[in-house]
């Protein structure tokens, strides 16, 4: 580009200040209009403005290295992907998750004479189902402690029952006539509350399932140890009997040999 | 609901720690970027950033809202940067490795960018860093606050404590020096 610094600029005010204010568009409208008029006729200002815009463009390439903050946080909740999913779908997913997790939580590990057996809630025997049905019947006849009766056998059922009741209450509350809240606000608040509760329940359910799994693993280990000890005792007994039998056989053989030796000596 | 900075400050003063966390989330990157461009060392810039929020938290009760919270925060950060330069007795350093490691660079490559474009972009970035390092402190600060943080001339004047016209002059002079330095460095300002 040809150097235009020797071209005379006729701007009457403080040219440098106005030029930089114009460059950053941080200028009073009157000054802008005045400089616009000047700019149309001043080659030197045109060139310098273009050059400084080029410098600004270069400056835009300078980015600091990405920081690794110790205080790095999760993005705000509003940007979570699950916010794009309708509340009913989230509730359905939560129910599905609870169901699958419940099946896993009913893991049944046994070690006995038949060997190691692993079963989940889905493969429980009909008898177990019968017990559950009986319990459900008991639930309907004794409303005083419905959840606790169920939770003794399958804690996750209590969560499902509570969730169902919660959903029913929410649903009833949302269709109560005469509620004057705006629709959007009503939906927003109840959805947020509902989701928070569902997440809380899922968390609690997970914790309970982990405890239950730990208990079951501990129980399985205890069973294994008991069975192992029993096997050892049995092996010892068998080995003892075997040794005893061996001893008797050896003694009998010795007697036979002695008898034969005695007979042979008599014949001689 | 989105709170303004000043509302978050008020809530922080009344004991809501989450509000101050929100302020940190909102401003840690700009403050870090300001510190990095001022002193040129990533680790020290992070320290300055943390110290800025620590001091802000301690002095929160004294924030009267006469200025924007961001301006107040910038002032703390700029003072810390100035202290850093004085304490270290050195000019701001911009870490520009001589060798270009293509593997390292490739990790920062944008999807549509070729290796040649990436190298050119990095070269240009380093040229800008070197040119900025050669500027006097006042000019560099004015350019950083205007160019990268979008402050008005008046806000910069309030922040650094000088007349409005001085800010404009510093910017003009700084940009003129940069234009020359970039042209000399091969990244000619177009």
Residues B9-44: tens digit of each pLDDT? 989 988 888 899 999 999 999 999 999 999 888 889
Quickly state the pLDDT bin for A241 (edges 50, 70, 90). Answer: confident
Q: Cβ–Cβ of B128/A26 closer than 8 Å?
A: no
Q: Compute the distance between CA of residue B131 and CA of residue B178 in angstroms, rounded to an integer.
A: 6
Helix ranges restricted to H, A70-125: 87-105
Distance between first and last Cα of chain A = 140
CB-based contact B142:B134 (threshold 8 Å): no
For chain B, give the percent of residues with pLDDT over 70: 81
Which residues are A92's β-sheet partners? none
Q: Cβ–Cβ of A64/B36 closer than 8 Å?
A: yes
- Choose the mutation target among A19, A23, A53, A67 for the interface with B, i.e. most B CBs under 10 Å: A67
**Which residues have C-beta within 8 Å of that of residue A159, sequence separation ≥ 6?**
A98, A201, A204, A205, A208
CB-based contact A116:A109 (threshold 8 Å): yes
Whose CA is closest to B101, among B128, B125, B119, B127? Answer: B119
DSSP A129-161: HHHHHHHHHHHHH-TTSHHHHHHHH-HHHHHHH
Q: Cβ–Cβ of A21/B28 closer than 8 Å?
A: no
Q: Cβ–Cβ of A65/B125 closer than 8 Å?
A: no
Least confident of A133-137, A212-216, B51-55: A133-137
- What integer pLDDT is reported at residue B127 of this predicted model? 84
Q: Compute the distance between CA of residue B41 and CA of residue B84 in angstroms, rounded to an integer.
A: 11
B chain contacts of residue A20, beta-carbon cutoff 8 Å: 168, 171-172, 175
Q: Cβ–Cβ of B129/A68 closer than 8 Å?
A: no
Longest dimension (CA), chain B: 55
Interface ipTM above 0.85:
no
Up-side HSE of residue B75: CA atoms within 13 Å toward CB?
16
A chain contacts of residue B37, beta-carbon cutoff 8 Å: 62, 64
Whether pLDDT at A4 is above 80? no
**Which residues have C-beta within 8 Å of that of residue B58, sequence separation ≥ 6?**
none
| Residue A228 tokens, joined | 């192992």
Residue B178 contacts A where some CB pair is shorter than 8 Å: yes
For chain B, the structural domain boundaries read 1-90
Which range has the top average pLDDT, A75-89, A245-259, B160-174? B160-174
Q: Which CATH number fits domain B1-90: 1.10.1740.10, 3.40.50.970, 1.10.10.10, 1.10.10.410?
A: 1.10.1740.10
- What integer pLDDT is reported at residue A62 of this predicted model? 87
**Mean residue pLDDT across chain B:** 83
- Give the distance from residue A13's alpha carbon to the nearest chain B alpha carbon, in angstroms: 12
Whether pLDDT at A99 is above 80? no
- Give the distance from residue B57's alpha carbon to the nearest chain A alpha carbon, in angstroms: 15
* Four-residue CA torsion sign, B84, B86, B87, B92: positive
> For residue A55, what is the nearest residue in chain B, using CA coordinates?
B189
**Mean residue pLDDT across chain A:** 70
Q: Cβ–Cβ of B153/A26 closer than 8 Å?
A: yes
- What integer pLDDT is reported at residue A107 of this predicted model? 57
Whether pLDDT at B174 is above 70? yes
* Four-residue CA torsion sign, B165, B167, B170, B172: negative
Whether pLDDT at A60 is above 80? yes
CB-based contact B26:B5 (threshold 8 Å): yes
- What integer pLDDT is reported at residue B116 of this predicted model? 66
- Give the distance from residue A5's alpha carbon to the nearest chain B alpha carbon, in angstroms: 12
**pLDDT tens-place string over residues A141-191:** 344 444 444 444 455 567 667 766 776 676 566 544 444 344 344 444 467
A chain contacts of residue B132, beta-carbon cutoff 8 Å: 62
Whether pLDDT at A8 is above 90? no
Taking residue A4's Cβ as centre, other Cβ atoms within 10 Å add up to 15
Whether pLDDT at A113 is above 80? no
Residues in chain B: 190
CB-based contact A121:A103 (threshold 8 Å): yes
Q: Cβ–Cβ of A54/B169 closer than 8 Å?
A: no
More confident residue, B185 or A16: A16
């Amino acid at each position: 580009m040809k150097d235009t610094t020797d071209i005379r600029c006729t701007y009457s005010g403080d040219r440098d200040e106005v030029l930089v204010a114009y460059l950053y568009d941080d200028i009073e409208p009157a000054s802008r209009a005045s400089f616009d008029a000047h700019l149309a006729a001043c080659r030197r200002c045109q060139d310098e403005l273009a050059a400084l815009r080029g410098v600004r463009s270069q400056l835009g390439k300078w980015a600091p290295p990405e920081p690794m903050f110790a205080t790095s946080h999760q993005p705000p909740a509003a940007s979570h992907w699950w916010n794009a999913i309708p509340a009913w779908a989230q509730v359905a997913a939560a129910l599905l998750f609870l169901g699958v997790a419940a099946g896993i939580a009913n893991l049944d590990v046994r070690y006995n004479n038949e060997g190691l057996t692993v079963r989940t809630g889905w493969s429980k025997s009909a008898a177990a189902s019968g017990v559950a049905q009986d319990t459900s019947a008991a639930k309907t006849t004794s409303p005083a402690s419905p959840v606790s009766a169920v939770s003794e056998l399958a804690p996750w059922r209590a969560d499902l029952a509570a969730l169902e009741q919660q959903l029913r209450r929410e649903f009833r509350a949302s269709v109560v006539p005469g509620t004057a809240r705006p629709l959007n606000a009503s939906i927003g608040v109840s959805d947020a509350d509902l989701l928070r509760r569902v997440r809380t329940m899922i968390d609690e359910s997970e914790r309970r399932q982990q405890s239950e799994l730990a208990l079951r693993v501990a129980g399985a280990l205890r069973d294994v140890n008991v069975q192992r000890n029993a096997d050892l005792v049995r092996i010892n007994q068998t080995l003892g009997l075997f040794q005893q039998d061996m001893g008797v056989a050896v003694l009998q053989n010795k007697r036979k040999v002695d008898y034969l030796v005695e007979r042979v000596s008599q014949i001689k | 609901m989105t709170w303004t900075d000043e509302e978050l400050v008020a809530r922080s003063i009344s004991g809501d720690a989450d509000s101050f966390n929100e302020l940190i989330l909102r401003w840690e990157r700009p403050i870090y970027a300001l510190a990095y461009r001022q002193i040129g060392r990533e680790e020290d810039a992070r320290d300055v950033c943390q110290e800025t929020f620590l001091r802000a938290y301690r002095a929160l009760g004294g924030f009267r809202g006469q200025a924007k919270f961001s301006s107040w925060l910038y002032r703390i950060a700029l003072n810390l940067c100035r202290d850093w330069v004085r304490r270290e007795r050195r000019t701001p350093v911009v870490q520009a490795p001589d060798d270009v490691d293509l593997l390292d660079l490739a990790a920062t490559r944008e999807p549509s960018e070729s290796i040649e474009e990436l190298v050119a972009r990095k070269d240009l970035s380093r040229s800008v860093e070197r040119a900025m390092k050669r500027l006097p402190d006042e000019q560099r600060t004015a350019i950083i606050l205007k160019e990268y943080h979008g402050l008005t001339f008046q806000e910069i004047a309030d922040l650094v404590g000088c007349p409005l016209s001085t800010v404009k002059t510093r910017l003009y002079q700084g940009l003129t020096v940069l234009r020359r330095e970039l042209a000399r460095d091969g990244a000619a300002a177009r």
